[in-house]
Amino acid sequence: MSATVSPLAPKKYPKMPAVEGVRIATAEAGIKYKGRTDLLAMVFDEGTTAAGVFTRSKCPSAPVDFCRQNLSGGKARVLVVNSGNANAFTGKKGRETTRMTGEAAAKAAGASAGEVFLASTGVIGEPLDAGRFSHLLADMAKEAKPDRWTEAAKAIMTTDTYPKLATATVKIGGADVVINGIAKGAGMIAPDMATMLSFVATDAPIDAPVLQALLSKGVGSTFNAVTVDSDTSTSDTLMLFATGVAEKRGAPRIMEVGDARLGQFRRALNRVLKQLALQVVRDGEGARKQVEVTVTGAKSARSAKRIALSIANSPLVKTAVAGEDANWGRVVMAVGKAGEPADRDRLAIWFGDSRLAFEGERDPAYSEAATSAYMKRDDIAIRVDIGLGRGKATVWTCDLTKEYVAINGDYRS
């Protein structure tokens, strides 16, 4: 955890209500960090359903493989997360660690082996010794409490400068249900998620296939629309757990994706996912500014998103934003290299409300003074109209500063 908190950190954290059926414990296992918690256990009531979305990296970590395997059962009783070591690219040793941790967690929670989920974040390529922390799980499961969401968010941090939390309360069929989420991530962040872990839990009674459909759709415009540095991690894990305890309070069990009673819940879930995703961007390593990139007028939505990501991932665009330079030529470059249909002579570019370029050249009304003043803000909006169709997309990123190089230059030391 960095000594200085990001200037883009939230001014205050949400008060996190308990989610019935979820209990939380954290511990100091000393895996890499000294004097802070680095181990999280989340214990779920029997009958909890689970959904997950994971990295598309072809070199996934051992915990990602473990979760994918168990997800087919659709049930969860315990989640164990460690920070400081990603248990990725650790070969047979890594698989042995997940097996041992999985067995210890199942025993601690009185669960079957298929109801355990694991996630690890931190350095890649270093063996993770399960013996450092698996013995702590039994006591953690015993003393877990419902009101420890903020502690949970702190325990999973690596280079994050602040914990990431979001909550929503909505109705399903007249009964209140709670959705709570935590996330971590600051670098190695790109769509297909990122070095990003996020765990969301609700007391809504929702069957696993419906939960999975909601989550898979929800990531498109949230976690898969943020990028810090275009690097996709080996460990990305986003999981959603539903304890179903709200059924006792009259919430109906949802068994179909098309159930009309899901409307409010779906919107609230997407809101929680977006809040968490944007907090990850605002804690981008060394970040001083959040950048929203919107592309309109593309051939298709998919094409718009590819162009938007080309802009958001461009080191030249991101360093220009860091230097508060409205260098729209770099945006033109990023559109041109995206490999998507574009027409130079139809292109229009805005920074905030100022149109800088129009129909392939500098806008005659462009004011350098007004745009330079705009670039001093914490939140920068770049909009590009391609002028070819109706496809649109928005993605979020941050600027690229000297601090990013400093943080990643000595990450292992």
DSSP letter for each residue of 69-82: HHHTT-B-SEEEEE
Radius of gyration of the chain (CA): 22
Residues with active-site annotation: 195
Q: From residue 110, give the alpha-carbon distance in Å to each of 102, 104, 245.
A: 12, 10, 19
Q: Is the dihedral of CA 184, 408, 322, 55 positive or negative?
A: negative
Quick one: which of 302, 335, 341, 339 has its CA closest to 317? 335
Determine phi and psi for 191, rounding to 5 degrees: -55, 165
Q: How many CB atoms lie within 10 A of CB 256?
A: 12
Quick one: which of 251, 234, 233 has its CA closest to 242? 251
DSSP letter for each residue of 277-293: HHHHHHT-TT---EEEE
Distance separating alpha carbons of residues 391 and 383, to the nearest angstrom: 13
Distance separating alpha carbons of residues 349 and 409, to the nearest angstrom: 34
Q: Is the dihedral of CA 73, 237, 79, 124 positive or negative?
A: positive
Contacts of 304 (CB under 8 A, 6+ apart): 295, 296, 298, 386, 391, 392, 393
Quick one: which of 102, 38, 41 has its CA closest to 73? 102
Long-range interactions of 367-372: CB distance < 8 A, separation 24+: 368/326, 371/326, 372/324, 372/326
Distance separating alpha carbons of residues 51 and 120, to the nearest angstrom: 18
Q: Is the dihedral of CA 163, 168, 172, 177 positive or negative?
A: positive
Quick one: which of 90, 150, 148, 86 has its CA closest to 118? 86
Alpha carbon of residue 312 to chain centroid: 17
